[in-house]
Chains A and B, each alone.
Chain A
Amino acid sequence: MRTRVAMPVQPADRRRKNFSEVALGYTREQAVTEARRCLACKNKPCVAGCPVGIDIPSFVAKIAEEDFDGAYDILRASTQLPAVCGRVCPQETQCEAQCVRGIRGEAVAIGSLERFIADDHARKGGNFPSDRNSGGRKIAVIGSGPAGLSCAGVLCDQGYDVTVLEALHEPGGVLTYGIPEFRLPKKIVAREIDLLARHGVKIRTNEVVGKTILVEELFANGYEAVFIGSGAGLPRFLDVPGENLKGVYSANEYLTRINLMKANEEGSSTPVYRGKRTLVFGGGNVAMDAARCARRMGSEVTVVYRRSEKDLPARAEEVLHAKEEGIEFLCLANPVRFYGDDNGYVAGAILQEMMEGPKDADGRSKPIPLYDSAFSFDADMVVVAVGTMPNPILTSATHGLATDKRGVIRAEEESGKTSLDGVFAGGDAVTGAATVILAMSAGKRAAYAINRYLRDKETDK
């Protein structure tokens, strides 16, 4: 009982050659066995660790009773995207970190159980919640990523007429263009979005708010409130010479070519460069995703991170999976410049060793370059995954929408209220690059705030 039921996975030597999902999911028996490890603590510490406040012990108890539909209903009451959360949440730092089982053994595998229930619901064809989006007051949601979908779903539950506007040709935001197939299959994302659409959420693609239509025009068109969940924005680069050589990608571009445009598949007309020796810069989940995609495209891959390995911000599981797939890690190293071949393609990087300096505000050691430690590392492809900067399109086209000095939208933490009346915001557009679940949590809180705002507006009349 001290150890959890292990999640079955595709063997590393097989999966590094395909894009199929790594984790295979619990069987019925495995799920029930794992659920019975839950101690059903009265004070529910795990719930406090969940950004969207799922009633974890109750849904786990339903699994233990083999009432999977009952478990789904409990999940769905708090999260709009259970199949997604069960796969990509950093549970080890959230709900599972609070689990009492974890004190003397392994925490209950809450994420794996959530995933099991969502997939079980899908396998059975799912009992779709009925269409509640009828004749209610109109709300526009900008962006169909985790923040927007979560906000739209909750508002739809409350009977509003919700329209989601998406700039790309497919909905899903980072779930579609960013997170790779082997971690989050696109048919799972499509199904979750389809569920919301059947629920009544309207989704319009190919509309860039700030370009195709302005926020003020949404109000003029009868929308009474607007939620901005437009995501993280422009990729940050390393700002070293040679970064614009051919074969140097931002992680956003590399992942979008593969995940959204399917450049890895036969028959896609979107090209993607296939390196033989790839360097990935950065240590977050996005860096892991890029590295593991490159591996699957047939490249040798080394992740270069400027801090020490213990500081890697990626989920522990992603780092482990990456290593199992043969990806190497070069920590405490930083690029000085890239060099190219005669045709302008990248041929490698000059790196320098770093050492751990004094601790900075967030408790991590600040990396300092080690004198005279530069060395060269040949590579024919580079992916830069060092975060993002705010996207100016929407903020510059929306008069009166306040941003902070970084350029992200200013919004109240709890409600998502912005400087404009009736305009709310949440997710990466407010926080800068963060996680799927934090964006979902912000979208959900904003939905409650929008509901209060519209009710108050009604009573004021």
Chain B
Amino acid sequence: MYRILRKEILNPQVIRMAILAPAVARKAQPGQFVILRTYRNGERIPLTIADYDREEGSVTIIFQKVGATTEELARISEGECIPDFVGPLGRPTETDGLRNVVIVAGGVGSAIAYPMAKKLAEQGTNVRTITGYRSRDLVILEKEFRACSDEYHLVTDDGSAGNKGLVTDALRTILQSGDPIDQVIAIGPLVMMKFVCQLTRELGVKTIVSMNPVMIDGTGMCGGCRLTVGGKTRFACVDGPEFDGNEVDFPEAISRASMYRELERGEHEKTCRLFAQGGEIALCKQ
């Protein structure tokens, strides 16, 4: 059993949790992920590691309420336990030799980008960070990013915080400023990563993206997380989750991410109908 040590609501959709898992904390590195279940018979979901404290034996995750399992995880309180928490899975971010990096993070993706920004800053890399959100109330980790970035750009779709615009606008400005940039790291919604990669391919800048497809075991066994990279089938769990963004087949990844959307919507509606009609259904059946 894995105990929730701390729980913090970062915005109405996004929650930070520190979970007691000493074996995972001992090995965790930026870029890796865990798989957890919220209850016995629950679904296994992958979540990227946002931070870890080897001394305390804790691993921090930051997640957005997007489906049944994350909704349920959000309901679990401090002090309570979840039955399964396994990791660290996937390969860590490769940061060796990087001198000038631009990190582009969108939405809850900034939770994954933050430990990378921190690690890069600690090793003396010049870090410029661009984070983008829909609006002011969804902004997370602003203080943390400012602390470890040499340059920090905040953009929102509606201009309610930082500059109004898209992350790609800010990225274009930096990449065209003439400063040398070794690498862009883009983490966020698939569509955002796709557009970042379109821009960097055009400008010839190497770009690493972090993929978060559907998976079950997270150890290579199921193959559900496969994606096409450079024309070859790769598994996000063992070959990734980070890949060269200019080689990723984003249209395919975007399509695959929606495989269960219809099913889940159906389930959701079924549950809602049940609730709406109260106990009458059960009575009718009898």
Contacts and interface: CB of A to CB of B under 8 A. Distances in A.
Contacts of A271: 43, 260, 263-264, 267
B85 interface: yes
Contacts, number: 115
A260 B267 CA distance: 20
Q: Is the interface of A mostly helix, strand, loop or mixed?
A: loop
Contact of B23 (A169, A212, A250): A212
Nearest to A210: B219
B206 interface: no
B100 interface: no
A253 B216 contact: yes
A211 B87 contact: yes
A211 B88 contact: yes
Contacts of A167: 86, 217, 219
A448 interface: no
A206 B84 contact: yes
Contacts of B233: 237, 239, 243-244
A247 B263 CA distance: 12
A340 to B, nearest CB: 9
Given A271-B263, A393-B219, A261 B84 contact: no
Contacts of B85: 206
Contact of A246 (B23, B37, B216, B259): B259
Contacts of A260: 216
Nearest to A234: B220
Interface string A221-256: 000000000010111010100011111011011001
Contacts of B86: 167, 169, 206-208, 212
A168 interface: yes
A268 to B, nearest CB: 6
A207 B85 CA distance: 9
A7 interface: no
B68 interface: yes
Contact of A169 (B24, B37, B258, B260): B37
B55 interface: no
Contacts of A262: 41
A409 to B, nearest CB: 15
B256 interface: yes
A206 B22 CA distance: 12
- Looking at B69, B83, B226, B233, the one whose CB has the most chain A CB atoms below 10 A away is B226
A28 B84 CA distance: 42
A105 interface: no
Contacts of A392: 220, 238
Interface in B114-135: none
Interface string A376-394: 0000000000000001110
B221 A391 contact: yes
B222 interface: yes
A391 B263 contact: no
A182 interface: no
A207 B23 contact: yes
Nearest to A204: B23
A208 B85 CA distance: 11
B26 to A, nearest CB: 8
A393 B220 contact: yes
B235 interface: yes
Contacts of A206: 84-86
B189 interface: no
B190 interface: no
Given A167-B219, A206-B84, A211-B27, A246 B89 contact: no
B260 to A, nearest CB: 4
A244 B227 contact: yes
A253 B223 contact: yes
A102 interface: no
A419 interface: no
Interface in B239-265: 252, 255-256, 258-260, 263-264
B224 interface: yes
Contact of A269 (B68, B88, B235): B68
B258 A252 contact: no
A206 B267 CA distance: 29
A169 B27 contact: no
B263 A273 contact: yes
A257 B216 contact: yes
Contact of A208 (B37, B219, B255, B259): B219
A285 B69 CA distance: 33
Contacts of A208: 86-87, 89, 219
A148 to B, nearest CB: 15
A244 B222 contact: no
A127 interface: no
A245 B85 CA distance: 30
A12 interface: no
A269 B41 contact: yes
Contact of B43 (A245, A250, A270): A270
A234 B235 contact: yes
B79 interface: no
A391 B89 CA distance: 13
A190 to B, nearest CB: 13
Interface string B3-40: 00000000000000000000110010000000001000
Most B C-beta atoms less than 10 A away, residue of A231, A253, A269, A391: A269
B44 A261 contact: yes
B151 to A, nearest CB: 35
B219 A261 contact: no
Interface in A252-289: 252-253, 256-257, 260-262, 267-271, 273
B163 interface: no
Of B23, B83, B220, B228, chain A has the most CB atoms within 10 Å of the CB of B220
A169 B69 CA distance: 16
Given A208-B219, A213-B23, A269-B42, 18 more contacts: A206-B84, A211-B89, A212-B23, A212-B88, A244-B227, A244-B252, A244-B256, A246-B256, A246-B259, A249-B224, A250-B223, A250-B224, A256-B221, A261-B216, A269-B43, A271-B43, A271-B260, A273-B259
Interface of B: 23-24, 27, 37, 41-44, 68-69, 83-89, 216-217, 219-224, 226-228, 233, 235, 238, 252, 255-256, 258-260, 263-264, 267
22 contacts: A169-B44, A169-B83, A206-B84, A206-B86, A208-B89, A211-B89, A211-B219, A212-B86, A231-B221, A237-B223, A244-B233, A246-B255, A246-B259, A249-B224, A261-B216, A269-B42, A270-B44, A270-B216, A271-B43, A273-B259, A393-B219, A393-B238
Q: Which 5 A-B pairs have the closest CB atoms?
A: A344-B255, A250-B223, A253-B222, A206-B86, A235-B223
